[in-house]
Amino acid sequence: MGLVLVLAAALLGYLYFTRQLTPRVWRWAAAGVLAYLAARGFKGAPLLGLLFSAGAAALVFWERIPGRAKPAKPGFDEARAILGVGPGAGAEEIRAAHRRLVAQVHPDKGGTAELTRRVNAARDVLLDALNREPPNAS
């Protein structure tokens, strides 16, 4: 058991120092530890092993829990309103409006992560719509 813990700590340390340690990786690591403990078995407490197994399953399927759905992307008109661009805005105008807004609402500048997500989603919606439009035949 000691070797497994040392290897797990080394892997988490590597991921931390390479900035790859995301909340999702933490959940998988915790689920792995719980699954390992459940697999080892508990001679006098089978209920404890069952609880560890249930905890591991809950951590793995965290994103699929009802109510944890990702927010929907804004509609085309709402995206234009968020970025403050007109109906005939081109890709450069959309990107400039996005940069201007992100500079104001970014968490490092006093905004929130939710506002930044909304501005990014609005940019994605508008740029996707521009890319899907067929070129004007002249």
Tell whether domain 76-132 is in CATH 1.10.287.110: yes
In tens, the pLDDT along 54-91 reads 777 776 666 565 555 566 788 889 999 999 999 888 99
- Which residues of the chain are in CATH 1.10.287.110 domains? 76-132
pLDDT digits (tens, 9 = 90+) for 103-122: 999 888 888 888 888 999 99
The token duo for 35 is 């699954």
Q: How many CA atoms lie within 13 A of 97 on its CB side?
A: 21
Tens digits of per-residue pLDDT, 33-64?
767 666 666 666 666 666 766 777 776 666 56
- Alpha helices (runs of H) in the chain, residue ranges in sequence order: 2-17, 23-40, 46-60, 76-83, 91-105, 113-132
Residue type at 37 in one-letter notation: L
- The residues near 129 (Cβ < 8 Å, ≥ 6 apart) are 76
